[in-house]
């Protein structure tokens, strides 16, 4: 009897748990993540063959789940994007003033910016603070960078002058400023004074403007920056402290040189694709209304034939979850009244280009889309967060209610204004929510974002929650709510 009483609560949990969610399978989620994050797919850089292979895999998963092709051609919705690949056989080293050489290791000591140009140079390095050159503050005023490599902080100052904000300091902008002063390459460095200084990361964010084909751009680790500064009597930390305290430039010519040899394959326009599938609604009236569930499939690729960024959490996890949800609808024989558009976005990492393209080229009328749900970085961390709840509070509450009835993993904190691939839909007035795990970004854009780091049970829980939320909204009771700013 005692035993039986003990079992009773468990029984209730089982009964109250929605049956359909049993179709969300941990093993299947992880198997897809492992494939997407494997060396075979080399970090899924949008525009590359590796991304295209991932997209074909996604399309095939959609097909197996019984989704109808909903792209321009089969499951694919094509668009053109800017593309750059760092080719094999690169070299980067520090040449000390005494002639000795420190060979640097890609992925650890340095990582190229995604839109680095080519170059084969050996040149002295000049530290140029924040790499800013404007009328109130000029890091280039007192130094000569002509024919040299500029070393600058990757981000803008956290302070400003005369309450004027800084121009956006994206890598392309900083590279352009250095180039205009005669520099032949640029090294970006993180802030040594940050509580946890950022390690070099893979990133294809560049900013607008023309590609400088012959201008290498690297993100170097702080110890490498200090190696370059040796002989100057300052560490990078000293320099940041000095500049931030005085709010005055403090640039200097270092005693050391770097050798950079890198080739890149650049294309201003390269074809890539979103993967789009449709599950038709089963109600004659409501099937004209649509829910979009999406995740970005791309990541930041590989470099020099030596390293690649697996992007298991970012965002093989979200992509595999969207595929799993499609399967769960099929296997659970769910009678969804509204139609559901499943999508894997391309080119999020460069600037949400796939999501923007779909939001601007929807296969249905925009007014027919009642909700958009985004999944991005859903496999690492310790609880569930649903973003953009301040802009779509009713959708957020539906998810919150489902969570309260089930796993109770969702935190209250949310935000407004869209966020990543939810943004372009939010901006069009479509209510959107954003599924993410909390403390998700420890391995973000690093070589360590691997499947084995994922929190598998949390990953399954958030996928179940997303599935049940889509299913609930597909029932038709939720009416498209006005989007709050």
Residues that bind Zn ion in the complex, under the rule CB under 5 A: 314
**Tokens found for residue 266:** 């650049």
Strand-pair category, 432-437 with 369-375: parallel
Whichever of 173 and 314 has its CB closer to Zn ion, that residue is 314
- Least separation in angstroms between CB 461 and Zn ion: 22
Nearer to Zn ion, 227 or 314 (CB): 314
What b/e sequence results for 222-259 when a residue is b if at least 16 CB atoms lie within 10 Å of its CB, and e otherwise? bebbbbbbeebebbbbebbeebeeeeebbbbbbebbbb
Contact assessment for residue 75 and residue 63, using Cβ atoms and an 8 Å cutoff: yes
Instruction: Give the CB-nearest residue to Zn ion.
Output: 314
Q: How many CB atoms lie within 10 A of CB 351?
A: 16
d(CA 252, CA 243): 12
Q: Which pair of structure tokens corresponds to residue 37?
A: 């994050």
Residue 116 CB, shortest distance to Zn ion, in Å, is 18
Smallest gap from residue 349 Cβ to Zn ion (A)? 5
- What minimum distance in Å lies between the beta carbon of 348 and Zn ion? 7
Helix (H, G, I), strand (E, B) or coil at 387: strand
Looking at beta carbons only, is 199 or 330 nearer to Zn ion? 199
Closer of 239 and 355 to Zn ion (Cβ): 355
- Name every residue whose Cβ is closer than 8 Å to that of residue 14 and which is 6 or more positions away in sequence: none
**Helix or strand (DSSP H, E) at 467:** helix 456-474
How near is the Cβ of 420 to Zn ion at its closest, in Å? Answer: 8
Give whichever of 355 and 369 is closer to Zn ion, judged by the CB atom: 355
> Do 105 and 302 form a contact (C-beta atoms < 8 A)?
no
Residue 131 near residue 207 (C-beta atoms within 8 A): no
In the bound state with Zn ion, the residue whose beta carbon lies nearer, of 201 and 484, is 201
| Residue 96: CB minimum distance to Zn ion, A | 36
Instruction: Indicate the residue among 106 and 316 with the shorter CB distance to Zn ion.
Output: 316
Q: Using omega within 30 degrees of 0 as the cis cutoff, is the peptide bond preceding 315 cis?
A: yes
Least separation, in Å, of the C-beta of 86 and Zn ion? 17
């Amino acid at each position: 009897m005692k035993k039986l009483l003990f079992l009773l609560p468990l029984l209730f949990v089982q009964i109250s748990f929605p049956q359909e969610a049993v179709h969300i399978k941990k093993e299947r989620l992880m198997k897809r993540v492992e494939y997407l994050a494997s060396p075979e797919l080399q970090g899924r850089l949008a525009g590359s063959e590796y991304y295209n292979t991932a997209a074909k895999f996604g399309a095939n998963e959609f097909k197996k789940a019984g989704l109808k092709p909903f792209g321009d051609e089969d499951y694919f919705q094509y668009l053109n994007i800017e593309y750059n690949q760092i080719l094999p056989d690169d070299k980067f080293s520090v040449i000390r003033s005494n002639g000795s050489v420190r060979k640097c290791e890609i992925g650890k000591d340095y990582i190229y910016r995604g839109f680095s140009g080519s170059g084969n140079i050996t040149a002295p390095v000049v530290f140029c603070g924040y790499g800013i050159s404007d009328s109130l503050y000029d890091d280039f005023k007192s130094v000569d960078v002509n024919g040299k490599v500029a070393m600058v902080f990757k981000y803008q100052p956290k302070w400003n002058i005369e309450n004027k904000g800084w121009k956006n300091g994206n890598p392309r902008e900083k590279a352009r400023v250095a180039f205009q002063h005669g520099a032949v390459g640029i090294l970006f460095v993180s802030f040594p004074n940050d509580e946890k200084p950022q390690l070099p990361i893979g990133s294809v964010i560049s900013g607008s403007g023309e590609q400088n084909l012959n201008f290498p751009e690297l993100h170097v680790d702080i110890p490498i920056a200090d190696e370059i500064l040796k002989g100057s009597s300052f560490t990078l930390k000293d320099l940041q402290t000095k500049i931030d305290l005085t709010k005055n430039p403090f640039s200097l010519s270092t005693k050391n040189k770097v050798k950079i040899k890198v080739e890149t394959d650049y294309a201003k326009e390269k074809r890539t694709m979103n993967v789009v599938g449709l599950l038709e609604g089963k109600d004659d009236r409501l099937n004209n209304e649509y829910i979009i569930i999406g995740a970005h499939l791309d990541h930041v690729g590989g470099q020099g034939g030596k390293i690649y960024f697996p992007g298991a959490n970012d965002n093989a996890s979200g992509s595999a979850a969207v595929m799993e949800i499609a399967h769960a609808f099929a296997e659970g024989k769910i009678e969804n009244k509204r139609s559901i558009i499943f999508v894997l976005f391309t080119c999020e990492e460069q600037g949400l280009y796939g999501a923007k393209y779909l939001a601007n080229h929807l296969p249905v009328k925009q007014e027919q889309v009642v909700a958009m749900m985004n999944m991005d970085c859903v496999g690492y961390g310790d609880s569930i967060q649903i973003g953009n709840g301040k802009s779509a509070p009713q959708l957020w509450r539906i998810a919150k209610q489902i969570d309260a009835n089930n796993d109770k993993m969702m935190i209250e904190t949310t935000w407004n204004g869209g966020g990543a691939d939810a943004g372009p839909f939010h901006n069009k007035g479509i209510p959107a929510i954003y599924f993410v795990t909390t403390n998700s970004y420890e391995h973000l854009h690093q070589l360590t974002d691997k499947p084995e780091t994922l929190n598998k049970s949390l990953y399954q829980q958030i996928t179940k929650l997303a599935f049940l939320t889509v299913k609930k909204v597909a029932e038709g009771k939720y009416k498209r709510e006005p989007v709050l700013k």
